[in-house]
């Protein structure tokens, strides 16, 4: 692609995102409103820049500080909420779980920590489908089914999160 055309396209996309964000914030979006579809797309774009093969397990609003919110509410919500909207993301890449914070107003990742605690995030739909097929391809499982006098087409394997 022509780099000049690409630069123009990037400028247009940035401008549209800026205008939409300005429009939404000027119409008094509530600080606890869920992420809008354009915000989710913004998060996806930023995370995919850093991790090409990322799978998303959660993306939602990182809630503002409670004292800031209560102060804003007690002042009659006369002006826009001073806290920037931040998205909290759980993504997997290269066999690691990442806890990512995205500042939506600055269009940038502000925190990216590798989760090293216990457990894993929920499986994506694709991972659930793959996991459901695994037993039907595993020789010992197939042998145990045949030993019981059953056929594989009589067996259903499902994953429940």
Strands of 49-107, DSSP E:
55-61, 86-93, 96-103
**CB crowding 76-92: b at 16 or more within 10 Å, else e:** eeeeebeeebbbbbbbb
39-79: per-residue pLDDT in tens?
Answer: 999 999 999 999 988 999 999 999 888 888 887 788 776 56
Please state, in angstroms and rounded to a whole number, the distance separating the CA atoms of residues 87 and 128. Answer: 25
* Separation between Cα atoms, residue 51 and residue 92, nearest integer Å: 9
Determine the average pLDDT of the residues in 19-28: 49
Where does 9-154 show beta strands of DSSP type E? Answer: 55-61, 86-93, 96-103, 108-115
Q: Of 35, 18, 21, 33, which Cα lies nearest the Cα of 88?
A: 35
Distance CA 112, CA 90 (A): 10
All structural domains of the chain: 29-121 (3.10.450.40), 123-161 (no CATH)
pLDDT of the residue at 118: 85
pLDDT in tens, 90-143: 999 988 899 999 999 899 999 999 998 888 788 888 888 989 999 999 999 999
């Amino acid at each position: 692609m022509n780099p000049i055309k690409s630069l123009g396209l990037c400028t247009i996309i940035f401008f549209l995102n800026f205008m939409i964000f300005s429009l939404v914030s000027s119409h008094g979006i509530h600080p606890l409103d869920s992420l809008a579809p354009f915000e989710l797309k913004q998060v996806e774009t930023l995370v995919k820049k850093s991790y090409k093969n990322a799978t998303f397990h959660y993306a939602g609003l990182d809630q503002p500080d409670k004292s800031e919110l209560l102060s804003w509410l007690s002042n009659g919500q006369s002006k826009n909420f001073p806290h920037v909207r931040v998205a909290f993301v759980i993504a997997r890449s290269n066999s690691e779980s990442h806890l990512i914070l995205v500042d939506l107003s600055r269009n940038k990742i502000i925190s990216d920590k590798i989760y090293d605690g216990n457990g894993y995030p929920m499986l994506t739909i694709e991972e659930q489908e793959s996991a459901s097929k695994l037993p039907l391809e595993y020789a010992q499982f197939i042998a145990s089914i045949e030993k019981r006098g059953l056929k594989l087409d009589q067996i259903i394997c499902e994953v429940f999160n």
